[in-house]
Structure 1
Amino acid sequence: MSFDGIVVNSLSRELKKTLGNSKIDKVYQPEKDEICLKIRARQESYKLVISASASNPRTYLADMYEKTNPKKAPVFCMTLRKHIQGGIITDIEQVDFERIIKISVESYDELKEKTLKYLFVEIMGKHSNIILVSHSGKIIDSIKRIPLSVSRLRQVLPGAEYELPPSQNKLNPLKKISVEEFKTLLKEDDNIVKSLYSNILGISPLVAKEVCFRSGVSVDSKINEISLSKFNEIMSIVEGIFDDLKNDIDYPNMIIDTKKDKIVEFSSIELKQYQDMSDIKDDSISAIIEQYYLKKDIKDRLNQKSSSMKKSISLRLDRVNNKIKKQLKELRESENAHVYKTKGELITSYIYMIKKGMESVEVLNFYDENNPIMIKLNPNLSPSENAQKYFKKYNKLKNANEELTKLLIINKEESEYLDNILLSIDNSENSQELKEIREELVREGYLKSRNMPKKNNKPKTVIMKYLSSNGNTIMVGRNNKQNDYLTLKMADNDDYWFHTKDIPGSHVLLKCAGKQVNDEEIKEAATLAAYYSKAKMSSNVPIDYTRKKNVKKPSGAKPGMVIYEKNKTVYVTPSDEEKAKIKKIED
Structure 2
Amino acid sequence: MALDGIFLSKIKDELLREISFGRVEKVHQPSREELVIHLRGKNGAKKLFLSIRSNSPRIHLTEHAPENPAVPPMFCMLMRKKLLNAQLVDIRQSGLDRILYLDFNATNEIGDKIKLILSIEIMAKYSNIILFDGDGKIVDAIKRVDLSQSAVRQILPGFKYIAPPPQSKLNITDHTTENIIAQIKTFPSKSLSSAVLSTLQGASPLTCRELCGEFGELYTDEVSDKGFEYLSENLDSLRNIIMNEPGVPFMLKDETGKPVDFSFFPIKQYGDRYRTEIKSSFSELLDEFYYECDRLERTKQKGQDLVKLLNSAISRVSKKLSLRQAELAHCADREKLRINAELINANLYRLEKGALFYDLENYYDENKPIRIKADPSKSPSQNAQKYFKEYRKAKTAEQLLTGFIEESKQELAYLETVADSLERADTQAEIDEIRNELSLGGYVKKKRGTDKKSSKALPPIEYRTTDGFRVLVGRNNVQNDRLSLKTAAKNDMWLHTQKFPGSHVIIVSDNREISDEAIVEAAEIAAYHSKARDAKLVPVDYTYVKNLKKPQGAPYGKVIYHVYYSVNVTPDRDKINAKLSKVK
- Superposition TM-score, scaled by structure 1 size: 0.84
Aligned match of 2:246 in 246, 250, 253?
250
Offset of residue 56 of structure 1? 2.5
- Tell me the equivalent position of 1:491: 488
Pairing 1:439–2:401 present = no
Distance of 1:485 and 1:65 partners within structure 2: 29
- Tell me the equivalent position of 1:389: 386
Deviation per residue, 1:520-543 (Å, 9 max, x gap): 555544444444444455566544
Pairing 1:504–2:501 present = yes
Distance of 2:34 and 2:179 partners within structure 1: 43
Offset of residue 143 of structure 1? 0.6
Distance of 1:288 and 1:502 partners within structure 2: 34
- Tell me the equivalent position of 2:362: 365
Distance of 1:190 and 1:541 partners within structure 2: 45
Pairing 1:467–2:465 present = yes
Q: SS at the partner of 2:543?
A: strand
Pairing 1:271–2:303 present = no
| Residue identity in the other structure for 1:164 | A
CA pair 69-376 structure 1, distance change in 2 beyond 3 A: closer
CA pair 2-462 structure 1, distance change in 2 beyond 3 A: farther
- Tell me the equivalent position of 1:585: 581
Offset of residue 410 of structure 1? 1.0
Q: 1:136-215 residue pairs with structure 2 within 5 A?
A: 136-151=135-150, 154-179=153-178, 181-186=180-185, 187-188=187-188, 190-212=190-212
Q: SS at the partner of 1:499?
A: strand
| Residue identity in the other structure for 2:340 | K
Q: CA RMSD in A?
A: 3.8
Offset of residue 300 of structure 1? 3.4
Aligned match of 2:338 in 341, 360, 364?
341
- Tell me the equivalent position of 2:547: 550
- Tell me the equivalent position of 2:5: 5
CA pair 549-444 structure 1, distance change in 2 beyond 3 A: same
Offset of residue 562 of structure 1? 0.6
| Residue identity in the other structure for 1:179 | E
CA pair 244-551 structure 1, distance change in 2 beyond 3 A: closer
- Tell me the equivalent position of 2:51: 51
CA pair 329-493 structure 1, distance change in 2 beyond 3 A: same
Distance of 1:258 and 1:538 partners within structure 2: 12
Q: SS at the partner of 1:372?
A: strand
Q: SS at the partner of 1:173?
A: coil
Pairing 1:93–2:88 present = no
- Tell me the equivalent position of 1:131: 130
Distance of 1:564 and 1:19 partners within structure 2: 55
CA pair 546-13 structure 1, distance change in 2 beyond 3 A: closer
Deviation per residue, 1:318-359 (Å, 9 max, x gap): 221222222122122223223223323333443344444321
1:442 touches 1:452 (CA, 8 Å); kept in 2?
no
1:36 touches 1:48 (CA, 8 Å); kept in 2?
yes
Distance of 1:92 and 1:422 partners within structure 2: 43
- Superposition TM-score, scaled by structure 2 size: 0.84
- Tell me the equivalent position of 1:103: 102
- Tell me the equivalent position of 1:118: 117
Q: SS at the partner of 1:437?
A: helix
CA pair 412-293 structure 1, distance change in 2 beyond 3 A: closer
CA pair 292-336 structure 1, distance change in 2 beyond 3 A: closer
Distance of 2:578 and 2:65 partners within structure 1: 28
Aligned match of 1:404 in 401, 406, 409?
401
Distance of 1:313 and 1:373 partners within structure 2: 51
After the TM superposition, which of the residue ranges 511-520 and 546-555 deviates more from structure 2?
A: 511-520
Aligned-residue sequence identity (percent) comes to 33
Q: SS at the partner of 1:131?
A: strand
Any gaps of 5 or more consecutive residues in structure 2?
A: none
1:495 touches 1:511 (CA, 8 Å); kept in 2?
yes
- Tell me the equivalent position of 2:32: 32
CA pair 376-62 structure 1, distance change in 2 beyond 3 A: closer
Q: SS at the partner of 1:93?
A: strand
Distance of 1:81 and 1:451 partners within structure 2: 33
CA pair 344-310 structure 1, distance change in 2 beyond 3 A: same
Pairing 1:77–2:76 present = yes
- Tell me the equivalent position of 2:570: 574
